[in-house]
Amino acid sequence: MNSNAKSREEVLGTVRDRLRSKDDVLAVLPFASTPKRPSGPDGTTREGIYPSYRRYRPLVLTDRRLFVLDAGRTPHPRRGVLAEFSLKDVQVVEVIPGRFNQTRVLLDLAGVGTVPFDVGGYEVDDLASLREALERP
């Protein structure tokens, strides 16, 4: 088993107990991360999905929900599920191709706002599945 498959299994294991019997997993992005958030008028943001320092935020998309995991500074989701959103509460705002097979996906998350997620080249198929599920008329 290669490291990408192992990471996918590790991420799925983190959400397995939250999945319902009829949930279909559409995409797993084990190496998704949020870039450093610029300091705002209130200073640095240390908590939440988009803090003031780069953090791994693996994503799992089912046909009903998006799970955002808390992995800290490594891509291993040791801290569990950080947030869970119904698909109707998530939209793709923009997809920005970057350097070195990186893609930045701006997701609008209900109650949180727009959050950038950096996704790597190993996750191209899953990124396409995420976009297909979330980019609806």
Domain extents for the chain?
3-134
- Running DSSP on this structure, what letter comes out for residue 48? S
Q: Beta partners for 96? A: 104
| Residue 123: per-residue pLDDT | 85
Could you tell me the two tokens for 135? 């980019």
Please say whether the structural domain 3-134 has been given the CATH code 2.30.29.30: yes
Task: Provide the strand spans (E) within 1-137.
Answer: 25-29, 33-34, 55-56, 59-62, 65-69, 81-86, 90-97, 103-109, 113-119
pLDDT band at 67 (very low <50, low <70, confident <90, very high): very high
Per-residue model confidence as pLDDT tens digits over 107-132: 999 999 999 999 987 788 999 999 99
What is the arithmetic mean of pLDDT over 46-75?
89
Task: Identify the residue whose tokens are 């943001």.
Answer: 45
| Residue 99: per-residue pLDDT | 84
